[in-house]
Amino acid sequence: MTEEGIQVLAPVAGRASDILTDDALGFVASLHRAFDPERRRRLAARAERQAELDAGRRFAFLDRTAEIRRSDWRVAPVPPDLTDRRVEITGPVDRKMMINALNSGARVFMADFEDANSPTWDNVVQGQVNLIDAVEGTISLEAKGKRYELGQRTATLVVRPRGWHLTDKHVLVDGAPVSASLLDLGLFLFHCARRQLERGTGPYLYLPKLEAHEEARLWNEVLCAAQDALDIPRGTIRATVLIETIPAAFEMDEILFELRDHASGLNAGRWDYIFSVIKKLGRDERFVLPDRSSVTMTVPFMRAYTELLVRTCHRRGAHAIGGMAAFIPNRRKPDVTEVALAKVREDKQREAGDGFDGTWVAHPDLVPVATEEFDRVLGDRPHQRDRLREDVIVTADDLLDVRVPGGGVTGAGLRANVEVALRYLESWLRGVGAAAINDLMEDTATAEIARSQLWQWIRHRVALEDGDTVSRELVRTVTAEEHHRIADAMVADGLDPGRLEDARAVFEQVALGDDLPEFLTPAAYERLP
């Protein structure tokens, strides 16, 4: 398909033709042409900042924006159906998972085109079809003799497009791949914004992977242009920003300020945040992190960032949303489930007690547990934005305090990282971006932690607690062992391990090189259809 400089290089069949109309593609192209140059400048600015960090620069709160932090201002009032966000469930734009999430009893469902979604062409386009059907209340599915359809009460829909760093190879605008952010956003807004307004809700977003307030400014300009083009009032679109990178933690006020007419809150994206600390600071041996399992939400740097997030949001009239509980309850493992649910409960107690207005879960069975803990604190109130947390004082040193009491680097932790990375990448390359691994719902963020930790440990020749030194040779040996073990297990379960070899190749490319690629997904994306 070619229309005024727009080329779709993948098949357009069935309901895809309803999504990829000339008008819809023209809308996406107009956004891309207007804003892709600035998107590329922002990505170049990320690279410049990384070079400065590698040369010894230290993260700090910005002098040039001090007045924004000092001044009294607030974001726009929250829409009625985003006022109570005590439990939010997340998942990919898969049809069955969307229906189950919307019916889960959570207040909000985040439909994810990013970390929980493998961006195959079918997933991207069918995801947009599913959004339309969800908005219209007609989404249903017949599978394995069972019918899935929406119940009487459903969660408020929020959509997460892919991040600024990604493009989509299936759509070219003037000969260049389209920004994946603008493709996901543009198609969603074009087809659903007015539908949602007619139903008394609105087009709500989660914005991922921001690293600077200038990137939030770019999003704000995109949202203004999109609303003008669609002839809907500015401020109709509301966005929650994930604070999942360490540079963004130093600019939370500024990010909210740039989006203040569209902002509804910030979210503590814990797994990507850990990855960002490794990625941004991992070349400095003072910032070596121990096994992922020991980097909990109570260690100093994680505690500092989450408490600062609550204080910042509440001062500005925005919601503070807590982090993910990724455990998958399993009736066949009652002892494991009991222990894990106790940890989930403790995590949600801490978040509610700290002043968060809501939290994330990845599985419907966790909604009651999380709801109970937030109900205990909130009662009949929809949020606790009146808790200003003026007792919280967070310095740059606090945000950079990566001490992990009792944490160490172990052979078991190294092997777990290899296993998670291989198994997740194998799943992602099959088109499944939310993968159940060892009773956890894993997404791209956890694979990013796994491979970046291994790179960091190799770079600094970290000594394992059993005496070995982490090296490329050691990781390659463990990788070969895990590859064969995973392949054998898949065959025993009647599964085809055909993508595992590709997964191993991508893993070694993004974990074992001299340089740490900024993200693993571009390398893996080359191998997707």
Q: Where are the domains of the chain?
A: 2-397, 411-525
pLDDT at residue 25, as a whole number: 98
Q: What angle do CA 19, 24, 30 make, to 5 degrees?
A: 145
Give the pair of three-digit tokens for residue 392: 């919280």
Q: What is the pLDDT of residues 208-248, one digit of tens each?
A: 999 999 999 999 999 999 999 999 999 999 999 999 999 99
Asked if 274 contacts 292 with a C-beta cutoff of 8 angstroms, the reply is: yes
**Mean pLDDT, range 363-388, rounded to an integer:** 97
* pLDDT higher than threshold 60 for residue 1: no
* pLDDT higher than threshold 90 for residue 4: no
Phi, then psi, of 233 in degrees rounded to 5? -60, 145
pLDDT at residue 3, as a whole number: 60
Residue 351 identity (one-letter amino acid):
E
Q: What is the pLDDT of residues 57-66, one digit of tens each?
A: 999 999 999 9
What is the percent of the chain where pLDDT is above 90? 95
Rounded to whole angstroms, how far apart are CA atoms 433 and 442? 8
Q: Which fold has domain 2-397?
A: TIM Barrel (3.20.20)
Phi, then psi, of 180 in degrees rounded to 5? -65, -35
Buried b or exposed e, range 442-463, using 16+ CB within 10 angstroms:
bbbbbbbbbbbbbbbbbbbebe
* pLDDT higher than threshold 60 for residue 281: yes
Q: What is the pLDDT of residues 104-121, one digit of tens each?
A: 999 999 999 999 999 999
Distances (CA, A) of 26 to 97, 126, 279: 30, 19, 37
Rounded to whole angstroms, how far apart are CA atoms 42 and 460? 30
Rounded to whole angstroms, how far apart are CA atoms 165 and 119? 14
Phi, then psi, of 520 in degrees rounded to 5? -85, -25
Rounded to whole angstroms, how far apart are CA atoms 221 and 227? 10
First to last CA, the chain: 18
* pLDDT higher than threshold 90 for residue 330: no
| Mean pLDDT taken over the chain | 96
Phi, then psi, of 149 in degrees rounded to 5? -155, 170
Q: What is the reported pTM?
A: 0.97
Active site residues: 160, 443
User: Do 2-397 and 411-525 come out as alike in CATH topology?
Assistant: no
Q: What is the pLDDT of residues 120-133, one digit of tens each?
A: 999 999 999 999 99
pLDDT at residue 314, as a whole number: 98
pLDDT at residue 529, as a whole number: 86
Q: What angle do CA 89, 91, 96 make, to 5 degrees?
A: 105
pLDDT at residue 331, as a whole number: 80
Distances (CA, A) of 529 to 18, 150, 170, 523: 21, 31, 9, 13
Rounded to whole angstroms, how far apart are CA atoms 195 and 192? 5
Q: Which fold has domain 411-525?
A: Malate Synthase G; Chain: A; Domain 4 (1.20.1220)
Report the DSSP beta bridge partners of residue 141: 148
| DSSP H/E element including 34 | helix 22-54
Q: What is the crossing angle of helices 270-281 and 444-459, to 10°?
A: 30
**Mean pLDDT, range 76-90, rounded to an integer:** 98
Q: What is the pLDDT of residues 385-444, one digit of tens each?
A: 999 999 999 999 999 999 999 999 999 999 999 999 999 999 999 999 999 999 889 999
* pLDDT higher than threshold 80 for residue 159: yes
3-state class of 89 per DSSP?
strand
